[in-house]
Amino acid sequence: GAGAEAVCAQVRCPVLVISGSMDVCQDPRRGPRLAELTGGRSVVIEGGGHLVQAASVKVNLLIREFLAGLDEN
């Protein structure tokens, strides 16, 4: 709701939101919306579920790439 959007608007740090396209616990639009509200980056792992970080090595690579990009700025 509006309260969550106001909180997101206050975020001042870099944000990476990783979600799975097959998440049955959260609406798949939620991750990209969170990234949009925080000015962050959204990555959707195709075929990934709710605990996508536990099942995909790609998540570790995405986090490493994200953190390396912070060093460049």
Distances (CA, A) of 21 to 2, 12, 48: 25, 27, 6
- DSSP strand E in the chain: where? 16-20, 41-45
**What average pLDDT does range 35-53 have in this prediction?**
93
Above 70 in pLDDT, residue 73?
no
Cα end-to-end distance, the chain, whole Å = 32
- Provide the pLDDT for residue 20: 93
| pLDDT > 70: percent of the chain | 99
| Secondary-structure breakdown of the chain: helix, strand, coil percentages, each rounded to the nearest 5 | 50, 15, 35
Tell me 28's DSSP state.
T
